[in-house]
Structures are given as C-alpha cells and as structure tokens.
Amino acid sequence: MRSAWGQQTGPDRATDAQVGPDLGISDMTTLLEMRDITKEFPGVKALDRVTLSVEQGEIHAICGENGAGKSTLMKVLSGVYPAGSYDGEIHYEGALAEFKSLSDSEARGIVIIHQELALVPQLSIAENIFLGNERATGGVIQWQETFRRTEALLAKVGLRDAPGTMVDSIGVGKQQLVEIAKALSKDVKLLILDEPTAALQENDSRKLLDLMLELKAQGVTCIIISHKLGEVRYVADTVTVIRDGATVSRLPAKGLEEDHIVRDMVGRDMTHRFPDRPRRAGEVLMEIENWNVWHPEHAERQVIHDIGFNVRAGEVVGIAGLMGSGRTELAMSIFGQSWGRNISGVARLHGKPVDLSRVDRAIAAGLAYVTEDRKSLGLILDETIRFNTTLANLEAVSTRGVLSEGQETEVAERYRKALATRTPSVMQQVGNLSGGNQQKVVLAKWLFAGPEVLILDEPTRGIDVGAKYEIYSIINDLSAQGKGVVMISSEMPELLGMCDRIYVMNEGAFVGELAAQDASQERIMSLIVNE
Amino acid sequence: MQSSETNTAQSEPSRLKAYLKNHMREYGLLFALIAIMAFFQIVTAGTLMRPVNITNLFLQNSYIIIMALGMLIVIVSGNIDLSVGSVMGFVGAFAAVMVVHWGMPVWITFIAALVMGGLIGAAQGYWVAYWKIPSFIVTLAGMLVFRGASLWLLEGQSVGPFPKSFQIISTGFVPDILPRGVTTELAGLFGARNFNVLAMAVGLAAVLIVIWLGLRARARDKAFGIDGEPANFFWARNVIVLGALLFLTFKLATFRGLPNVLLTMGVLIVIYAFFTQNTVVGRRIYALGGNAKAAKLSGIKTERLTFLAFVNMGVLAALAGLIFAARLNTATPKAGFGLELDVIAAVFIGGASMSGGSGKIVGAVVGAFIMGVMNNGMSIMGIGIDYQQMIKGLVLLAAVVFDVYNKQKQG
C-alpha cells in the first residue's frame, strides 16, 4: 500500500533528500526526526514504521483519516507513551531523545495542545496559564508578576481580556488562544496543535491560523494536525500524510492540490465529495410554526425568535448559521424540549399537531436527533456497540420488558453491515472506535428507532474525508426512503452539496431561505451579515 | 486509539490470554472468594465449613446481601445511599413497636414495614431525582434523620421479644419434602444426624439450571459469531463454582436444611440478576449511570428511574430490617449502625464503579460473601474487632486498586 503514490517516503528511506529543493529554503535544519516509529497495542499495530521529519521554523501539517495514527504518533513524541514502549528513534535538536513522560518533553520545549482543551474552567486566565508553573516565592503566589506576565503573553496571542477573567466566561476560540499563551509561557520550541480549529468558527479559525504564522516568524516550529485541507494549505510549509499507521507521503504544501492530499489520505480517488441523489420532495412531513424559546437559566433571554420551517418527505433541509446562532438550541427545543424553557409554538407531523414535550414522546412521534456532541450527549462510551444501537428503541428487541440478546445482536449486526461500521465485533466498546465509526453507531441508534424526520446536528464534525462521504451516502439513502432530514452544519460546502433547501439562521431567527440552485457561500454569508 | 479497528487474526493461546485479561475482574473476584474460604478453612481447622457455621454464615450476611442488591442498582445509576443502615434500623424499630406495643398481627406489620421502607426511599429519591440534589448529601441527611428517629421511636430502649411467626423469617427453615423417617435413614448413609432432601434437590436443580443457561448463552453467542468465553474456561469455572455450590448445599442438608432467609435471598438474587441484565428497565439504569445526558436524549425517563432506584432501595432496606430484628428477636436503637458502609463496600469489592454505569448483581453478592467470610473466619480465629476493621478496610482498598490497575493495563 505504500508504493502507489509518486511523491512518497518509504519508512526505511532517509527523508531529508526530498525536502530541500522543493521548498527552496536552504538554511533549514532538522529540528525533529522520528525514525521508523512502531507502536503496538495488544493485537494491533497502531503505528508501523512511521517517519516524520520537521524542519526548524516551519509549520508542518500532519494529515490522515481518523484512526490513521496521528494522535498515537503525537503521544509517542510527547512521552505519553514513554521511550521503550515503542520501537524506533526520536531525534530532537540533533540528538537522540528518550522522553519518559510528558514533563520530560515539555522541559525540552515540546508542547501539545489537544483537541479537548485542558483548561480549568473555574480558574482565571492567569491562573490557568501558570498552572503547574506558578510564579511563586516559597509557595506564595506572586500575583503581580503573574498578572504582568500574563498580560504580555495575552498581547502576544492577540487576546485583550483581563488576566483575571474566568476561563468559563470566554468562548472556545479565546480558550484556544489561552492554551497557546500557556504554551508560550513555557518557552516552547515545538508547538503541536491537534485539530485546533475543530470547534472554532470561520473568523476565529482564521485568527488562530494567522497567529501560527506569526509564531513561525518568531521562530517557533509548529506541527498542526488537521482535517481541513484549506487550512493546511494556508499555513503549512510541508505536509506529511499518514494512512493506516504508516507514512504515505511527505510533500511541500506550496501549490499542492487538495485532491492529492485527499487521495493520499483515503488511498483512492475522490472525484465526488458528495454522492449524487435524485431530488424529489414529497408531501410536507413536519412543520414548525411560531417557535419561541427562552434560555433555561436566564429567564429573560429569548434565544429562539418566532421560527417557522418545514421538511418534506425525501428532502434534505439545511440550517446554516454561525456558531452561537441558536441552531442546536432550536433542534434540542424541538426534540422533546431538551433545551430551553417557556417553549411555545406549533409542531405538526403529516399536518396533525403533535406533542413533543418529552424526548420519549418526540421519538414516538417519529423524530430523531443526532447530537452535535456525540461523546457526551450521543453515546455511552463504556458500553458496547450493541448496547448503544438498541438504546432508543428497546421495546423492539424485548417482549414484555424482557430483552432478547439474540435480537439485539441481530439488529446491531444489521446496522453494522448497512453502515459499514469498521469494528471487529458489535461487542466492541464504543469508546474505542474512531470518530467516524462512533458517528455511525449514533446513526444506527436513531435509524433503529424508525424515525420519519431526522435532525442531524453537525453530523460530520471531527470525521475524516472518507467517513464523511459514507455519512453523506447514508443521509441520501434516508431521503430516498422518503424520510425528512434536517441538517445543521457549520461547513457551508457540505450544506450546499447535500441540501435541497437551506434556511439561514442568525441570532436565534431565520433570516432567509434559499433553494439549492440559488444558494452559494456568498449569498448565505450576506444574509447573515446584512441582518 | 484506533486499536479496535484492525481485526487481526489471533492465535488460540493469545486469544485465551486476551480473554483472561479482559475478564480478570470476574475471575479474580471468584478466586479471591475461594482462596479466602480455603484459607480460613485451614486456619480455623475446619470450623468454617462445618454445617452449623455455614448456616450461620448465610444468616449473618443475609441482610447485607439483600441491601447490596438495592445498593448495586443505586450505584449503577450513578448515585449512592448512605442511609440504608439507619433506615434498616428504623424499620426494624417500627415493626417492633407495631407488634409488641400495638399488638398488630405479624403479616400486617410486615406489609406496613415494607411500605414504610418504600416511602422513605421515595422521600429521599424525590430530592435526588427531581431536585438534582447530590445523593451523597440527601442520604447523609437521611442517615442522621433515621438514626435519630429509631432512638425516638424506641425511646432509647430495646423492644422485644417477638412472636414466633415474626422470628421465623430469620431463624426458620423450609420444611423437608420427605417424612422424617426416610431422611434419618438417608442421613445414616452419610454419617450425619440429618439429611434434608429438599436442600440437596434445590442445590442440584440450581446446578443444572446454571449449566443449561450457560450452554444456551454460548450457543447463541456462537450463532452470532460473538467471541464468548473459551470452552475450557467455561467448564473450569462451572466445575469449580458449581462444585462449591453442591458442597455447600450438602453441608446445609446435613444440618437443618434450607434456612428461610437463604431461600428469600436466593430468590431475590435471581430476580435482581435477571432484572439488571435482561430487562428493558434494567438496561436503562445502566445507560443512565453510563451517561445520563445521552440516556435522556435517547428518550429514557432518567428522573423517574433514579426515583425508583431509591424506592427499591428503601423496600430492600426495610426487608433487611425485618430480618435483622427477627434474628436478634429484639429491636435496638443501635441496629444497623454503620451497616451502610459494609453494604457499599460489598458492592465496590464486587466491581461496581463509583462513577456509575457498571457493576453486576453477582459481583455484589460475591463481594458481600468475601466480607462475610472474612468477618466470620476472623471471629472464629478470635481476632479482635480492631484488627478485623483494619483488615476489611485494606481488602476494600486492594480490590479497588486491583480494578484500577487492570483498567490501566488494558488502556
């Protein structure tokens, strides 16, 4: 599998030869070289002789599908998997490095910022930045120095909040910047960002990427792990693609075709990002009218203003909008009033008003809601695929309240095959699956509940390109079966590629409705901005 | 980690090893119990396994085990109940006052006591489920309230003795199916004074049912291509466990037969094991404890389930209170003092997780027996209560450390 691609680095070959001339930069020295890294878990080879070589002062992107081994590689690098638990060598700053722990690698200036941020929400920005590294004399914290240095660091990352601000009162985008400021406080030489923009919206992402370029100018070397190829092209100097635990290619980012990266990542051509679907909308399935919702904690704050929309049988309807525009709140308030209070409005299915006041009633009425946050709201991670698949419709696999394990297994197997979930068995713990496969389990759960209308909230977030395509195909199958699909997404190309109609949402209200053929990224943005 | 995605063909020995590793907990628990029993059998020079002591062992631990059934459900649902000892004592006192002071018939007293337990559970569950007040706090309050309530109700005195029909739930034995003459002749064959055919028959039937259920489950797993327990493990485990079961029933049979308490307890264990593993409601409790938000968004009425878990706990604590009072033949203000900790320890030794969502009835029962055998064995050896407490504490810690260590190794 390693030989199919032209510009590639076999794990056993020296990597340096392919870098220099392409990048046109001559005074580069190699900061980090990981040679033939092999990491095995019981029964599984997670990394198979992976090589990675990062030049001093560059931004190096690592691309690969979920499950390719990127995170494992970074854990090897940072000492989470200590030296000796893997095969191969790490050379850092020209010498063999054997990190025994995270603090070992941090002492050498390697800092990882994980996807899930590691800040303590109840502490201030300053306290978080110097957490574990407190500015103190004799155990007594020097607040003045802490605050002064925090201010300097915040200025570096372009954050204007006061150092005493509580972390839980600032948004995810700013929290990301605080993490970076924290890294800078440790004299970072090699900064590793694991999908830093996954939870950010467009303008915050851009700010973060620009900050990376700025840090690069100051001499910090960066590794960025990302699914978003646009970003990779924007910031990266070099791209290493990893697939199935092995290095597939190492390419200069300049002038690189996205299709090329995608092809290397999935190991096949991706001519169509979105599968085709015959578009034929039937009768109106679900209608929502005059939907108003207030905030559950701040009773005076109205979050959803007078929203109305409908979904037809066989139709995929999109809801576009920025993060914080109220899309998830709208979906959850419809689905059994699981968010908000003082909810008013009319919901009709097949023209008849339905009671959606509780989740079980909403499910009984024919609704399903696939949450945006599958780990904390969608799945029970310690349980098996089988357990999760049948959870929303246990009545169907039981008689008089007694479960039939046989039926359950049958159901779980059926959906495993239908959705091509990659797992050795349906008795696998869901927490061990990759993001794409977890999402398939969530979908299986809701498909088995037999809904007529599915609300999918960011169904492809954090999922790699190949799995995205599969999720799209599943959505198309659903609409072909005459189900109505409401799709909430922050990725506009996805909405444009998948939907028949798109509602545009801003600040809790719908500000426009576009038919697929009239919609474009620019028109959606202008509707949001002009409001 | 992506380890699960690659389905590598494994050789037979490595498969066995992997299976053992993943199920270390279950096997470890079982062998710990067997090892502890063997140890005390040796150091007490055979006293532990004498028929009269085995009967006692069941009687002494019945109320702990009965409460552990309810506690397991409460803990699986992600909560805890610190009040069970006090509630048990209070209900025992309540029943004593009803029977002795008010002269109420025993059967009415029993029903009233169980209803009282349910109401107490409901009162506590209401705050936990619908007001989202941490169960630790609600039941800590309950512990204080009902400890005081027992004192108040009994006016600081012991109340007793009870009529025979009350005592029988704790000290009675199930009558044998064969007439006395036949059984004494049988007893002669084994060199014993007595031989209870019913006890032996129940033991044999239990063994056969367990084997049949096990084989059925294996056949089903195989039909669906699920990697179950390797055959040799299955048989080894069953031979050891069922052998021990037969041995115990034989011992019981040569003494006075099946204690009423053992029968009650056995039936309850079977019912609760079935309920937690095979029913829709049981499944939903695990989902609730595993991830309450996800469970709620899957249409599960999480508040109601939490509420019911506490009601159930209350009823079982009441039953335990009746059994405890009947055994002592008196209700004392100190009854149940600190017992909640034994019950909680049994559940955690049995492998339940503090954070909810995992744990099994069988584990909790075995955990309770481990504690019970240690109590009993150390008492026979004449070890003081001071050392007993320390040793039990260390065993609890060791069991949980073993758990965590296993999990880390797998991770």
This model of the complex carries an ipTM of: 0.86
Q: What three-state secondary structure class fits A460?
A: coil
In this predicted structure, what is the pLDDT of residue A149? Answer: 92
> What is the rounded CA–CA span in Å between residue A93 and residue A91?
7
- CA A428-A430-A431 angle, to 5 degrees, is 115
DSSP state of A378: I
A4 min Cα distance to partner chain B (Å): 21
In this predicted structure, what is the pLDDT of residue B12? Answer: 65
Greater pLDDT, B381 or B178: B381
Residue B264 inside a domain? The answer is: no
Residues of A in contact with B278 (CB under 8 A): 402-403, 405
Pick from B3, B223, B299: CB nearest A46: B3
Q: How many CB pairs under 8 A join A and B?
A: 135
Residues B240 and B358 occupy one common structural domain: no
Structure tokens at A20: 């220099």
List of domains in chain A: 1-109+189-269 (3.40.50.300), 119-187 (no CATH), 284-366+451-530 (3.40.50.300), 379-449 (no CATH)
Greater pLDDT, A286 or A21: A286
Question: If you search the block for the tokens 């959803």, which residue do you land on?
Answer: A304
Domain count, chain B: 2
- Tens digit of each residue's pLDDT (9 = 90 or more) over A119-164: 888 899 999 999 888 888 888 888 999 999 999 999 888 888 889 8
Residues B233 and B325 occupy one common structural domain: no
CB contact under 8 A, B294 and A376: yes
pLDDT at A178 over 80: yes
Q: What three-state secondary structure class fits A249?
A: strand
Greater pLDDT, B119 or A424: B119
HEC string for B336-347: CCCHHHHHHHHH
- Tens digit of each residue's pLDDT (9 = 90 or more) over B79-121: 999 999 999 999 999 999 999 999 999 999 999 999 999 999 9
Residue B183 inside a domain? The answer is: yes
Within 195-224 of B, beta carbons closer than 8 Å to A belong to 217, 220, 223-224
Residue B395 inside a domain? The answer is: yes
Q: Is the peptide bond before B161 cis (omega within 30 degrees of 0)?
A: yes
- Tens digit of each residue's pLDDT (9 = 90 or more) over B276-329: 999 999 999 999 999 999 999 999 999 999 999 999 999 999 999 999 999 999
pLDDT at A12 over 60: no
> What is the rounded CA–CA span in Å between residue B206 and residue B267?
11
> What is the rounded CA–CA span in Å between residue A274 and residue A308?
28
DSSP state of A461: T
Residue B17 inside a domain? The answer is: no
Within 217-276 of A, beta carbons closer than 8 Å to B belong to 245
Residues B30 and B95 occupy one common structural domain: yes
Residue B145 inside a domain? The answer is: yes
Structure tokens at A33: 């070289």
Residues B158 and B182 occupy one common structural domain: no
In this predicted structure, what is the pLDDT of residue A3? Answer: 37
Greater pLDDT, A280 or B91: B91
Q: How far is CA A469 from CA A277, A417, B37, in A?
A: 13, 16, 59
Q: How far is CA A432 from CA A27, A68, A379, in A?
A: 43, 14, 12
> What is the rounded CA–CA span in Å between residue B228 and residue B237?
14
Residues B402 and B311 occupy one common structural domain: yes
- Tens digit of each residue's pLDDT (9 = 90 or more) over A221-267: 999 988 777 888 889 999 998 887 888 888 888 877 777 877 787 66
Is B351 within 8 Å of B367 (Cβ atoms)? yes
Question: If you search the block for the tokens 């908000």, which residue do you land on?
Answer: A340
How does DSSP assign B227-287, residue by residue?
Answer: ----HHHHHHHHHHHHHHHHHHHHHHHTTT--BHHHHHHHHHHHHHHHHHHHBHHHHHHHH
Strands A501-506 and A316-320: parallel
- CB-based contact, B408 to chain A, within 8 Å: no
Which of B224, B258, B292 corresponds to the end of one domain? B258
| Radius of gyration of chain A measured on its C-alpha atoms | 25
Is A375 within 8 Å of A461 (Cβ atoms)? no
> What is the rounded CA–CA span in Å between residue A488 and residue A494?
10
Nearest to A102 by CA among A119, A80, A86: A80
Distance of CA A495 to the CA centre of its chain: 17
Residue B377 inside a domain? The answer is: yes
Residues B229 and B287 occupy one common structural domain: no
* Nearest-10 Cα torsion for A439, A445, A447, A448: 160
In this predicted structure, what is the pLDDT of residue B120? Answer: 98
> What is the rounded CA–CA span in Å between residue B110 and residue B125?
22
> What is the rounded CA–CA span in Å between residue A255 and residue A270?
19
Chain B residue with minimum CA distance to A389: B298
Phi, psi of B254 (to 5 degrees): -80, -5
In this predicted structure, what is the pLDDT of residue B104? Answer: 93
Q: What three-state secondary structure class fits A406?
A: helix
In this predicted structure, what is the pLDDT of residue A275? Answer: 83
Strands A87-92 and A95-96: antiparallel
Structure tokens at B261: 């308490």
- Which residues in B108-120 are b (16+ Cβ under 10 Å) and which e? ebbebbbebbbeb
pLDDT at A20 over 50: no
> What is the rounded CA–CA span in Å between residue A516 and residue A523?
11
- Tens digit of each residue's pLDDT (9 = 90 or more) over A313-334: 999 999 998 777 889 999 999 9
The band of A21, judged by pLDDT with boundaries at 50, 70 and 90, is very low
- CB-based contact, A432 to chain B, within 8 Å: yes
Give the residue-averaged pLDDT of B358-384: 92
Is A50 within 8 Å of A245 (Cβ atoms)? yes
Pick from A42, A69, A387: CB nearest B18: A42
A439 HSE (CA, 13 A, CB side): 24
- Tens digit of each residue's pLDDT (9 = 90 or more) over B233-255: 888 888 988 988 888 888 888 88
Pick from B6, B225, B279: CB nearest A402: B279
Is A236 within 8 Å of A61 (Cβ atoms)? yes
> What is the rounded CA–CA span in Å between residue B286 and residue B352?
11
> What is the rounded CA–CA span in Å between residue B354 and residue B272?
20
> What is the rounded CA–CA span in Å between residue B261 and residue B271?
15
The band of B410, judged by pLDDT with boundaries at 50, 70 and 90, is low
CB contact under 8 A, B293 and A377: yes
Q: What three-state secondary structure class fits B404?
A: helix
In this predicted structure, what is the pLDDT of residue A386? Answer: 95
Within 186-215 of A, beta carbons closer than 8 Å to B belong to none
Amino acid at B278: N
Residues B300 and B402 occupy one common structural domain: yes
- CB-based contact, B290 to chain A, within 8 Å: yes
pLDDT at A271 over 60: no
Residues B338 and B189 occupy one common structural domain: no
How does DSSP assign B32-82, residue by residue?
Answer: HHHHHHHHHHHHTTT-TTSHHHHHHHHHHHHHHHHHHHHHHHHHHTT---S
Q: What three-state secondary structure class fits A290?
A: strand
Which of A58-72, A270-284, A373-387, B116-130: highest mean pLDDT?
B116-130
Sign of CA dihedral A232, A237, A243, A248: positive
- CB-based contact, A45 to chain B, within 8 Å: yes
Q: How many residues does chain B have?
A: 411
Segment among B13-27, B186-200, B220-234, B305-319 with least mean pLDDT:
B13-27
- CA B347-B352-B356 angle, to 5 degrees, is 120
Residues B165 and B288 occupy one common structural domain: yes
pLDDT at B3 over 70: no
Is B372 within 8 Å of B37 (Cβ atoms)? no
- CB-based contact, B355 to chain A, within 8 Å: no
Chain A residue with minimum CA distance to B357: A382
Residue B127 inside a domain? The answer is: yes
Segment among B35-49, B60-74, B101-115 with least mean pLDDT:
B35-49
Which helix (DSSP H) or strand (DSSP E) does residue A455 occupy? strand A453-457
Residues of B in contact with A363 (CB under 8 A): 299
> What is the rounded CA–CA span in Å between residue A504 and residue A225?
31
Give the residue-averaged pLDDT of B352-378: 91
- CB-based contact, A118 to chain B, within 8 Å: no
Nearest to A359 by CA among A377, A345, A373: A377
Residues B396 and B297 occupy one common structural domain: yes
Q: How many residues does chain A have?
A: 531
> What is the rounded CA–CA span in Å between residue A147 and residue A155?
12
CATH number at residue B350: 1.10.3470
Residue B245: give the domain boundaries: 176-258
> What is the rounded CA–CA span in Å between residue A66 and residue A243?
9
Is A113 within 8 Å of A179 (Cβ atoms)? yes
Nearest to B360 by CA among B24, B33, B71, B62: B71
Beta bridge partners, A222, equal A59, A191
CB contact under 8 A, A398 and B1: no
B367 min Cα distance to partner chain A (Å): 22
> What is the rounded CA–CA span in Å between residue B369 and residue A184?
56
Question: If you search the block for the tokens 């999908």, which residue do you land on?
Answer: A195
Other beta carbons less than 10 A from residue A505's beta carbon: 25
Burial class (CB in 10 A: 0-12, 13-18, 19+), B243: exposed
- CB-based contact, B286 to chain A, within 8 Å: yes
Nearest to A498 by CA among A511, A486, A513, A509: A486
Chain B residue with minimum CA distance to A411: B224
Residues B104 and B54 occupy one common structural domain: yes
Question: If you search the block for the tokens 């973060």, which residue do you land on?
Answer: A208
Other beta carbons less than 10 A from residue A4's beta carbon: 11
In this predicted structure, what is the pLDDT of residue A18? Answer: 41
> What is the rounded CA–CA span in Å between residue A71 and residue B360?
34
> What is the rounded CA–CA span in Å between residue A168 and residue B160?
60
- CB-based contact, B184 to chain A, within 8 Å: no
Axis crossing angle, helix B361-381 with helix B260-278, rounded to the nearest 10: 150
A222 min Cα distance to partner chain B (Å): 23
In this predicted structure, what is the pLDDT of residue B130? Answer: 96
In this predicted structure, what is the pLDDT of residue B4? Answer: 39
Residues B142 and B116 occupy one common structural domain: yes
> What is the rounded CA–CA span in Å between residue A380 and residue A451?
21
β-sheet with A221-225: strand ranges across: A110-113, A190-194, A221-225, A59-63, A238-243, A246-252
Residue B16 inside a domain? The answer is: no
Nearest to A241 by CA among A38, A90, A54, A61: A61
The band of B193, judged by pLDDT with boundaries at 50, 70 and 90, is confident
The band of B61, judged by pLDDT with boundaries at 50, 70 and 90, is very high
